[in-house]
Chain A
Amino acid sequence: MKTWLPLVKKEFRLGLPIFLLSLIIFIIGVAVVGGIGYKFDHILQPIGIFGLVWGAGHFFFLAIYMLYSLGSEKKRMHLWLHNPMHASGLLLAKLLTGTVYLILSLLITSLAAYFGGLEVFIELSAASWLKIGVILSIHAILFSLDLAVYITLAYILFLLLERYMPAFLSGVVVFFGFWVFNGIYFGWFPLTKFYEVITSWGMIDLGNFASSMNFENNIVNAMINFQQDFKIYAGMYLFEAVVVTVIFFITSWLLDKKVEV
């Protein structure tokens, strides 16, 4: 902890441009859609919708943050890796700072979207908005963390392959490898009986979620239909948490033992 916290502090400074860039793009986006909306006498609604879309974009925030942060270290690997700390500590410092920036950015975006117009556009009680906000934000953070770990592994594999082939080719191999993995792991694997057996337990009841909200009738019906078709289990979350933890430690091991400067 004594050495890790100063490392975290350094990571905050190193990753700051991504956080600022996210904010600047959001502010510019709000100004642009607000300006366009003003011409049509609907200034608030476009801002609310833009906030919602930008908030959803936070699913990718941490992956982009990790790519930026790891990319920044690439030209000074001798500095980053010349450290007695285990590689998991080095990577965890980046993931933690990225998550803090993600939460901050998400909070700013959500508040701006809410007060900027979403509240006016869709009439819901404050409690319902809070409920939606919390559920979506938690999932944006979890999904973003999940993706960031996979992206970190892909980046470390890119560094490893670079020893054996030109950087461009290594990038191409990892890019296609990543999409093949995605297709198998997120496309084919969840449809298998095995996945169903190990994850279909601890169903999370969303039954009261939609009807508790003051939506217009057709939106409530749509959500109820969605809930009937799409079941969420605690087993899914636990399984993914275990997989991501294993992947994180494989990545750390590769960085510790195989990546060269």
Chain B
Amino acid sequence: MIEFKNVTKRYMTKTALRDVCLKLDKGKIIGLVGLNGAGKSTTMKLIAGLVTPTKGSIEIDGSKVTRRIASKVSYLSELDEYYSFYTVQQTIDFFASQFADFNKDKAEEIRAYMNLDANTKVKHLSKGNRGRLKIILTLSREVPVLLMDEPLSGLDPLVRDSIVKGLITFVDTEKQTVLLSTHQIMEVEMILDEVLAIKDGEIVDHRNVEDLRYDEQQGILEWMSAIYE
């Protein structure tokens, strides 16, 4: 379980997150939605231990989050900078060497599914293929928490579709919690269990998608419109 206890994050004069209290349960795919600059990436980085809270604390399964929480968290950054001198296979091998939980068989399975050539140098990959590589590297880790910051951003519809299908196929929802931020709500709506809305650094709503759909007869987009307009 991921728990935020009164977390505030300030960057000089700008408050990115304001006194956030939050509990995210195990085994869910959770969408983090919000406008640009709302605090989505900061939330992801805080859970990954790549930034530290100005106030409050974050715990994953009872352990305080530090940079070394990387042993429990697989983080997909919105940036797609990798070591350009490596090939796809060498990048996978390097990740496998750094994380004891990295499943190379699963990586090979996802790579084949994503139709990504193992021998292509990373520097020669298109944006879409770099997006696919990010997915391979993130989903191949057998960790309790998967964080995906804008995994669909800037990709063409075919790549987005293969990534969403990859998520359904390769995430172990029994053991893994997935938190993904995206602006492509329509494309991920069908795979989300919960949705979190963030606005000006505050969590303004946290809903179960099924409840939203059946009890309130609303899709995520309509629910978002009510929040942000």
Which residues from A are CB-within-8-Å of B69?
84
Most-contacted residue by chain B among A77, A84, A86 (CB, 10 A): A84
Known: A3-B97, A7-B97, A83-B70. 10 other contacts (CB 8 A): A3-B98, A14-B83, A75-B81, A78-B75, A81-B50, A82-B50, A82-B75, A163-B12, A256-B67, A260-B51
| A164 B12 Cβ-Cβ under 8 A | yes
Partner of A83, one of B12, B93, B98: B98
Q: A84-B99, A261-B45 are in contact. Are A76 and B82 (CB under 8 A)?
A: yes
Q: Which residues of B contact A (CB under 8 A)?
A: 11-12, 45, 48, 50-52, 66-71, 75, 77, 79, 81-83, 85-86, 93-94, 97-100
Q: A75-B81, A78-B75, A78-B79 are in contact. Are A261 and B11 (CB under 8 A)?
A: no
Q: In whole angstroms, how far apart are the Cα atoms of A84 and B98 in the complex?
A: 8
Q: In whole angstroms, how far apart are the Cα atoms of A81 and B71 in the complex?
A: 12
- Determine how close the nearest CB of chain A comes to the CB of B70; give it in whole angstroms: 5
> Does A57 make an interface contact (CB < 8 A)?
no
Question: Is the interface on chain A under 10, 10 to 19, 20 to 34, or 35 or more residues?
Answer: 20 to 34
Which residues from B are CB-within-8-Å of A39?
none
Q: Which residues of A contact B (CB under 8 A)?
A: 2-3, 6-7, 10, 13-14, 75-79, 81-87, 163-164, 256-258, 260-261
Q: In whole angstroms, how far apart are the Cα atoms of A76 and B79 in the complex?
A: 8
CB-based nearest A residue for B52: A260
| A163 B11 Cβ-Cβ under 8 A | yes
Q: List 14 A-B contacts (CB under 8 A).
A: A13-B86, A76-B83, A78-B50, A78-B81, A79-B82, A79-B83, A81-B50, A81-B67, A84-B68, A84-B69, A84-B71, A85-B68, A164-B12, A260-B45
CB-based nearest B residue for A259: B67
Partner of A260, one of B50, B93, B97: B50
Partner of A82, one of B70, B81, B94, B100: B70
| B97 A79 Cβ-Cβ under 8 A | no
Q: A78-B75, A257-B52 are in contact. Are A7 and B98 (CB under 8 A)?
A: yes
Q: In whole angstroms, how far apart are the Cα atoms of A6 and B94 in the complex?
A: 7
Which residues from B are CB-within-8-Å of A258?
52
A-B pairs, 5 with minimum CB distance: A6-B97, A84-B71, A76-B81, A261-B50, A78-B77
- Determine how close the nearest CB of chain A comes to the CB of B69; give it in whole angstroms: 8
Partner of B66, one of A7, A76, A78, A257: A257
- Determine how close the nearest CB of chain B comes to the CB of A35; give it in whole angstroms: 34
Which residues from B are CB-within-8-Å of A260?
45, 50-52
- Determine how close the nearest CB of chain A comes to the CB of B68; give it in whole angstroms: 5
- Determine how close the nearest CB of chain A comes to the CB of B164; give it in whole angstroms: 23
- Determine how close the nearest CB of chain B comes to the CB of A46; give it in whole angstroms: 37
Which residues from A are CB-within-8-Å of B70?
82-84
Q: In whole angstroms, how far apart are the Cα atoms of A10 and B96 in the complex?
A: 13
Q: In whole angstroms, how far apart are the Cα atoms of A122 and B105 in the complex?
A: 63
- Determine how close the nearest CB of chain A comes to the CB of B73; give it in whole angstroms: 8
| A6 B12 Cβ-Cβ under 8 A | no
- Determine how close the nearest CB of chain B comes to the CB of A4; give it in whole angstroms: 9
Q: A81-B67, A163-B12 are in contact. Are A261 and B51 (CB under 8 A)?
A: yes
Q: In whole angstroms, how far apart are the Cα atoms of A6 and B91 in the complex?
A: 11
- Determine how close the nearest CB of chain A comes to the CB of B77; give it in whole angstroms: 4
- Determine how close the nearest CB of chain B comes to the CB of A170; give it in whole angstroms: 13
